[in-house]
Structure 1
Amino acid sequence: MTTSDPAERYFTAISAALGGLDIFLRDDRSPLYRHDLVARVMAEYIVRLENSFSSWKNRLGFMDAFKISRAESGYPVFQNVLELENDRRQADKRLAAIPEPEVLRAEMADFILRHRAMPDALRKSMAERLYLEQVSSGQVFAPFILPKTIRVSVNPKTGRPIYVVHWAAFDGSANLPLVYMATVEDSSDNVVRALVGKDGKLNESVPIPLPVEGLLNPDLAHRFDDFAEKNSAYTLSPATIAGNLDKDFDQLHPKQLRRVVLGPFYSAGITEHNSTVADVLAKVRRVENAWLLTWTIQEVFSKAETPARRGLFSSQPAREEFHINTDDLEAARQGVSNYERHALIPHEAYQVLYAAGEAQKIFAGYKVHIISNGQVISDV
């Protein structure tokens, strides 16, 4: 592929964008770095996305089918994500049927010497082998990525353990990667007895090898996995997801739910979801700088908890009251307590937008971050 090839231009641009986002996440001057846990979680999923795009690029060496959501998200369509996951599961079986790399290289060299031509079939076998070896690692962005507990503490006011859990999904309708983080208190008697010491603090004699796959509470872990998978759609507001979690688990009390919507992504000559952005990015000289990546951080938190009621004839478990910022129409529409919109753009592209007089209109309501010489410049 050459830079004139649309696929090569797209992969070059998205690789640069994800690399820039990784720089932003790790920069101690960036806004997200102040929330170190958020930055660390996001960095993990950025690696998965980078591996996915690298795999898709390798897949083009033996398969021609690859589609992106040009008019909406700018990401690959969901079918590509499903195929990647299916190939990951079948990788070992398929690899067993393909000769080892050194065997393929020897056969390719022999073919070239004897026929004075490129061995297309062998070349495709080599490309497929490299692709399958990469996806077999499992570190790609799957349709759904199971929850993981990464932090445990105790709320001194309630005496309950607190978990910080994250998971992710690639939404099939919006074609967008979504990352979720939840802060949840657990009032299960067995967990409280095991994790909370007599001093009201975390019982340090109980080993917790963080991160833990799934919810830390083993009795609820499978149910929580199922819940997360069924409640990760982009069409569900954070308030709806948090409310469903509160209703479905009497012993779990969601205090905060954060969702990061990674996109849309804009690439010159490829995406079509904003004609103004497309026209301006087309004027950027270097392909690796002709992109714009946006993301939205949505958050809903509990403002109060209605205490449990126990009576002779009926009982009611504790329930959360979630704050929705009705003073902000957009926050109310999104079903969140607050939200932030961010945009990441190379310095060269930002200069072109600014010179065209479009920067202020395009970035209205966004926190803008510019990548320049491997550094992040924010709040421009």
Structure 2
Amino acid sequence: MSNGSPAAAHYFATIKAALSGFEAYVEQRGPKGPVDGFAAGVLEPYLRRLMASFSCWETHAGFAEQFRISRADSGFPVFQNVLELENDRASAESRLASIPPAQALREEMADFILRQKSFPSALQQQMAERIYLEQIGEGAVFSPAVLPDTLHVSVNPKTMRPVYHVAWGIFDGSQTLPMVYLAAIEDSSEEMVKLLVTKDGRLNPDADIPLPVGGLLNPRLAVRFDDFVVRNGAYSLTPATIAVNLDQDFPELHPKVVRRLVLGPLYSAGITENNGRVNDVLSKVRNGDNAWMFTWTMQEIFSKRERPEKKGFFSTAPAAEEFHIETNDLEATRMGVSAYEKHALVPHDAYQALYAAGEADSIFGNYKVHVISSNRVISEV
């Protein structure tokens, strides 16, 4: 899409409507309410990051030569845009220093119009670039990897270990899909058990933990854990693979649950080409602003038991988790998960069009459907 084109404007309006609708869906469940296996309060910071990224990209499109999205797959911006946003954040301060202040640009633009009797396109691009660079410095965006935060700490009284609830985000480069991860991880490190667990199996009230904590709560493992999630965050890796890798790479850490929320794909008439049948029906929606469908998938893998550590004269084996994969469900087996939920959010007009075309059952299949109208989401229609 070329900058300033009607297609670009329509795309940003569509993704803004889709993310705002998802935000309304999250907010209706309250900050502590469950959203497909996640507490709403866990998702909100990542959603804000994603919306901030799109706000920056929309401004950037005002002076960039073009803005590319993954039309045939996710409907999200291609990964190059994510990398450029991250690089621009690093260089924003030095680039701002080379651009005149906003007030000086406004005065120069007004003077240009009066003298030249034409629009100052070059100055407008400079202004757009200044606004963009100021924007990306104001708040957090959805980076290629949003490093982990420990959100909650508890104790498993059966194992007498602290349990960390850790969240992180990954923007997958190959599938161009943003994802949020949440894991419940027990820590058997002697020093952390001694620090955090009382003799009666409770969280030590004297341990001052200013949650959320940036990184894994165990400082000895935090850097390695950051590196692990970056290397093991790709969409192509199943949750089972990620959980097994985590279990094997960190003998002291015992992942009991790993959840992944995959945001997207987005389907939009006239923009995406990821599903011909869906796009064909959406193209018949009378109000083009409502001709979209946004989907997301929650995936979960959990440990059904822990094999105890083995010690012998000739070999030893650390404790290991046995993860449950639901083999009675072919899609769960393909995903490498214990359970999953697929969701679709559609404007009321689009749902009516899909229903009238007799396509609702075949398109939505095993999706949980949510219809948005006037910023109110009606679920399980």
Shorter-chain TM-score: which interval? Answer: over 0.9
- Correspondence 1:203 to 2:197: no
Q: 1:365 & 1:338 partners in 2: Cα distance?
A: 13
Show the counterpart of 1:243.
Answer: 244
- Whole-angstrom CA distance in 2 between matches of 1:341 and 1:165: 23
CA contact (8 A) 1:144 1:229 kept: yes
Q: Which moved more, 1:282-291 or 1:55-64?
A: 282-291
Change (3 A) 1:201 1:44: same
After superposition, residues 70-109 of structure 1 pair within 5 angstroms as: 70-109=71-110
Verify the 8 A CA contact 1:88 1:138 in the aligned structure 2: no
SS at match of 1:81: helix
Structure 2 residue aligned with 1:134: 135
Contact 1:74/1:266 (8 A) holds in 2? yes
Distance 2:4 2:287 in 1: 10
Gaps of 5+ in 2: none
- The secondary structure found in structure 1 opposite 2:273 is coil
> Partner amino acid for 2:350?
A
Cα deviation digits, residues 60-97 of structure 1 (max 9, x gap): 11112211110111111111111111111111111111
Q: Calculate the TM-score normalised by the size of structure 2.
A: 0.96
Q: Is 1:349–2:353 an aligned residue pair?
A: no
**Which shifted more, 32-41 or 144-153?**
32-41
Per-residue deviation, 1:265:
0.5
Backbone CA RMSD of aligned residues: 1.9
- SS at the partner of 2:138? coil
- Once the two structures are TM-superposed, the CA of residue 29 in structure 1 deviates from its matched residue by 8.6
In the other structure, the counterpart of 2:162 is 161
Instruction: After TM superposition, give the deviation of residue 357 of structure 1 in Å.
Output: 1.2
Q: Aligned in 2, Cα 1:333/1:340: closer, same or farther, shift over 3 Å? A: same
Residue equivalent to 2:112:
111
Unaligned runs of 5+ in 1: none
Counterpart CA distance in 1 for 2:134 and 2:16 is: 20
1:118-158 deviation digits (Å, cap 9, x = unpaired): 11111111100100111123511111111111000000100
Q: Cα 1:341–1:37, aligned 2, differ >3 Å: closer, same or farther? A: closer
Separation in 1, partners of 2:291, 2:161: 49
TM-score between the two structures when normalised by the length of structure 1? 0.96
User: For the structure 1 residues 60 and 23, does the alpha-carbon distance in structure 2 shift closer, same or farther, using more than 3 Å as the test?
Assistant: same
The answer to whether the Cα contact below 8 Å between 2:172 and 2:179 also exists between their aligned partners in 1 is yes
**Deviation of the 1:38 alpha carbon:** 3.0
Change (3 A) 1:212 1:29: closer
Structure-2 separation of matches of 1:346 and 1:363: 14
User: Identity across aligned pairs (percent)?
Assistant: 59
Report the alpha carbon displacement of residue 47 of structure 1 after superposing the two structures with TM.
1.0
- Tell me which amino acid in the other structure corresponds to 1:208: I
Quote the offset at 1:31 in angstroms: 12
Q: CA deviation at 1:169?
A: 0.9
> Secondary structure at 1:73's aligned position in 2?
coil
Q: What SS does structure 1 have at the residue aligned with 2:149? A: strand
Distance 2:32 2:283 in 1: 29
Establish whether residue 11 from structure 1 lines up as the match of residue 12 from structure 2: yes
Which one-letter code corresponds to 2:266 in the other structure?
F
Which of structure 1's runs of 4+ aligned residues deviate more than 6 A? Answer: 1-4, 29-32
Aligned runs of 1:1-380 on 2, under 5 Å?
5-28=6-29, 33=34, 37-380=38-381
Amino acid at match of 1:199: D
Aligned-partner Cα distance in 1 for 2:138–2:248: 37
Q: Distance in 2 between matches of 1:39 and 1:170?
A: 20
CA–CA distance in structure 2, aligned partners of residues 214 and 293 of structure 1: 31
Q: Matched residue of 2:34: which SS?
A: helix
AA at the equivalent of 2:102:
P
Distance 2:110 2:173 in 1: 43
* Alignment length (residue pairs): 380
Write the letter of the residue equivalent to 1:51.
A
